[in-house]
Chain A
Amino acid sequence: MQWETVIGLEIHAQLATDSKIFSSSSTQFGSAPNTQANAVDLGMPGVLPVLNREAVNMAVKFALATNARIGKRNVFARKNYFYPDLPKGYQISQMALPIVGEGEVEIELEDDVKKTVGITRAHLEEDAGKSVHDLFHGQTGVDLNRAGTPLLEIVSEPDMRSAKEAVAYARKIHSLVRYIEICDGNMQEGSFRCDANVSVRVSGSEKLGTRAEIKNLNSFRFLERAINFEVERQIDIIEGGGEVVQETRLYDADRDETRSMRSKEEANDYRYFPDPDLLPVEIEDSLIEALRGQLPELPDQRCARFISEHKLPAYDAGVLTADKATADYFEAVLKQSGAPAKIVSSWVTGELFSRLNKDGLELTASPVDEHRFSGLLARIHDNTISGKIGKDILDKMWASEDEADHIIDKEGLRQISDSSELEKMIDDVIAANPSQLAEYRGGKEKLLSYFVGQVMKASRGKANPGQLNQLLKDKLKG
């Protein structure tokens, strides 16, 4: 039987406000437990929430970036349940009237195929604190630093049909929220978290299968693996004559499996109702227009511009614009170095990225900033050095603060483009290899590369490769 997978994602993006959504406490990550929790965050008696308008502005920016309907009148609701890291016994969230309504994003699949994924809604809510289980023997500690941090919960339509599509969608949202600077996207620190609703059905069927919600997917890799595991598990159950149970499952990355957390029967009745401590928030058109004016060029627009303006292949443009920092870096280097876009693109996505990956660094933490990188590419572009020497220089720049020019001068790496100098070297090599010369002239033209190698060696890699090729061919002809 042919099975079709149906996936919807719920993404929690932590909004990058300085203070919490309903209190003035700092949202900084990594402080000592409970040092960023004031009376409001602790849910002390009688204290009241006051909305941080910056969180509202960020949500509106998200709506604008996804062409979503904006909830002009939105209402905060209480989601009631007991848990030690939930100080008030309820979470302030939004239910009936969320701030972001229906929207959409376009994702790119293999072979340049594009697909539109619907966004059902996105709503503002406060994060809970953290339970700390390993600090005190036999006891659980509660850290409320995170309690009250603003979240935008982005709920997609069940539009994705494979783990790969789900990852492409999650990456797209990740890219967007970083572009519009409403979320730092740091998945290790939990600033960007995914839950996946996964079900399977017989291909061609209209009816959705019973879904399982998988929680705790804190990397794109885990998201993909968890969905693939879950799809197989569900197909196995159905093919074995069983029924999939609606439940919440937890992904265990160590074992690469999902396991049951709680079933539908154990699910809480959250008893949502409008929070009487907060007035409905009206979003004025003037605010929407002001925020629209603050939006940067979005990834899709920027990608299209990279293709038309910089004449880049779609693939390169896609890779360079997926992340705002990369696109900014690329454009800065392009401008400062004067090198052609395709060269800059392959140096950024090739040499730079491979070094960053090797060291596990984000581009923003790159040892070589766009200014120094431009200095290097400028010298390659003006033929001062060859690309091969450029790679060695980049290694040296990686480990020092030196500019490319400084390294080139200090180590005498300037490319030899003086034809008399090159001719002399060529003559010496030809003189030293009479038999190879004879073979070449006898028709074995493959030996050209042998001669190129020999001259390169003699020049210690500094011979201008294009010029060398031409001169050598002329000389070999005799």
Chain B
Amino acid sequence: MHDKTIARIRHGLASGEFSSREICEHLLSRIDQLNPSCNAFISVSSELALQHADDADKRRAAGADSPLLGVPIAHKDIFCTNGVRTSCGSRMLENFVPPYNATVVDKLSQAGVVCLGKTNMDEFAMGSSNENSYFGNVVNPWGSNRVPGGSSGGSAAAVAARMVPGCTGTDTGGSIRQPASFCGITGIKPTYGRVSRYGMIAFASSLDQGGPMAATAEDCALLLQEMAGFDEKDSTSIDRPVDDYCGSLNDALDGLKVGLPKQYFTEGLDNNIAASLQASIAELEKMGASFVEVDLPNQHLSVPAYYVVAPAECSSNLSRFDGVRYGYRCDNPADLEDLYKRSRGEGFGREVKRRILIGTYVLSAGYFDAYYLKAQKIRNLISEDFTSAFKEVDMILGPTTPTPAFKIGENSADPVSMYLNDIYTIPANLAGLPGISVPCGLVDDLPVGMQLVGNYFTEARLLNVAHRFQQVTDWHLKSPAK
């Protein structure tokens, strides 16, 4: 029952094979059973979920239908959910219950989903291992000593362990794609502006983008179809019709031109991952795709530029957590300064504080030009690299991560080695481009992902290529779940 994809669940619900309550009850009991060791969920809202499942069943019985009516999913705990605690993985928001929904939450609810709970994440989405959560680290279902990746590690682990067929995630520097790769699932970061950021707690506003995570590209298409679209409440969302992601899934790959960045296939990449990618390339060639080498000369600057821009924005975005209106407030503040210092000192974790400090520094008088402005210039160079490449090719293929899931604690002492995990994913965020991670092999019994990055608003094509790839491979069907 739990191994069903969203597509399969839709079919089962529509045909009356099972009810939404049945599938939701099944998954909730599975969460009960697996979550204590996996820790993929921060909150499980069983009662509310079953109520919504019953509603969905009643509506269906009454002849209603909507694209995802009765389909169980979970939301990353960064999306505000009206009346349901939204912690963002932080002590700061441990008891925060928003009086509003994120637009993504509203849109998926309107499509009929039933939300089973809120998934674990690195605090304020800052991290690549889910070790930075105030609610404890998430364990990768593929290996009890392995991290699930981050920051959407809870979502990735929940799907990989088949506790839920699909989840929302957010991606600022790889936070959907890297955990998808580490957990053997599919995850897409759409074009910046394609999915509304309203009600999605901001980390770095110019980079953050919500997207779906699920076992298959088809399921990602089903979810993204409902999540995407212009939102007048988000000035950076783009007023442009949403493509038919599901309708083009089976399009032929004949004539598809794929670029292989020479900077990606170098010594820094794990040999076994390189081999998995080569095998995947061969599969795609069989279907009519052709491959050429492309040059992305400024790729090596993306991690340093990212670690200026993202902390700069986060230092300002997280200023609102001051202990005055909501969220954590220290006990017995002596005065205003003490209230600020202790509320923030006690409410935020180490990595968040590190990034606030870096961001405050790079925006300071005298450093702004040397760091922030320079990083913005590099950002333009990286975008231009892609623009040139997309004159030659339709999309770019490479690894999602340099290695498979690393061990818990392995990188936690060294922030720079942790940051380098996102070396392949960050460029797409800096340029605002869509990227998808697709399972493409197992290395030492751990899943690895292939990343496809397309031009702006080519989500449909990325999902199409990923789907066709999944028609001839079975890496996405492999699961550690018993």
Contacts and interface: CB of A to CB of B under 8 A. Distances in A.
A39 B99 contact: yes
A44 B98 contact: yes
Contacts of B428: none
Contacts of A340: none
Contacts of A279: 235-236
Contacts of B93: 45
B368 interface: yes
Contact of A44 (B100, B234, B319, B368): B100
Interface string B124-159: 000000000000000000000000000000000000
Given A46-B199, A273-B368, A84 B233 contact: no
Contacts of A269: 364-365
B202 A46 contact: yes
Contact of B340 (A46, A82, A90): A82
Interface stretch (A47-55, A293-301, A420-428): A47-55
A47 B93 CA distance: 15
B305 interface: no
Nearest to B325: A42
- A49, A80, A276, A278: residue with the most chain B Cβ atoms closer than 10 Å: A276
Contacts of B365: 269, 271
A272 B367 CA distance: 12
A48 B319 contact: no
B320 A78 contact: no
Nearest to B337: A82
Nearest to B372: A273
Given A89-B316, A89-B322, A273-B372, A46 B235 contact: no
Contact of A273 (B99, B312, B322, B324): B312
Contacts of B86: 45
Interface magnitude class on chain B:
35 or more
A269 B96 CA distance: 31
Contacts of A458: none
B232 interface: yes
B206 interface: yes
A43 interface: yes
B360 interface: yes
Contacts of A84: 322, 324, 336
A362 interface: no
A88 interface: yes
Contact of B199 (A47, A51, A87): A47
B98 A45 contact: yes
Contacts of A97: none
Nearest to B92: A45
Contacts of A48: 197-198, 233-236
A42 B368 CA distance: 29
Interface in B429-472: none
Nearest to B359: A271
Contacts of B315: 80, 271
Given A39-B99, A271-B363, A276-B205, A142 B324 contact: yes
Nearest to A81: B319
Contacts of A39: 99-100
A215 to B, nearest CB: 19
- A45, A46, A273, A277: residue with the most chain B Cβ atoms closer than 10 Å: A45
Given A45-B86, A84-B324, A90 B205 contact: no
A78 B313 CA distance: 10
Contacts of B197: 46, 48
Interface string B94-119: 00101110100000000000000000
Nearest to A269: B365
Given A46-B198, A50-B235, A80 B320 contact: no
A47 B198 contact: yes
A217 B173 CA distance: 48
Interface string A292-326: 00000000000000000000000000000000000
Contacts of B234: 48, 50
A132 to B, nearest CB: 13
A342 to B, nearest CB: 55
Interface in A9-61: 39, 42-51
Contacts of A44: 98-100, 320, 326
Interface string B292-320: 00000000000000000000110110111
Contacts of A90: 316, 319
Contacts of B316: 78, 80, 89-90, 271, 273
Interface in B370-409: 372
B200 interface: yes
A226 B234 CA distance: 44
Contacts of A87: 320, 324-325
Nearest to B199: A46
10 contacts: A42-B325, A44-B326, A45-B80, A48-B198, A80-B363, A87-B325, A89-B320, A142-B324, A279-B235, A279-B236
Interface of A: 39, 42-51, 78, 80, 82, 84, 87-90, 142, 269, 271-273, 276-279
Q: Which 10 A-B pairs have the closest CB atoms?
A: A89-B319, A276-B206, A271-B363, A276-B205, A43-B320, A46-B199, A46-B201, A45-B201, A88-B320, A46-B80
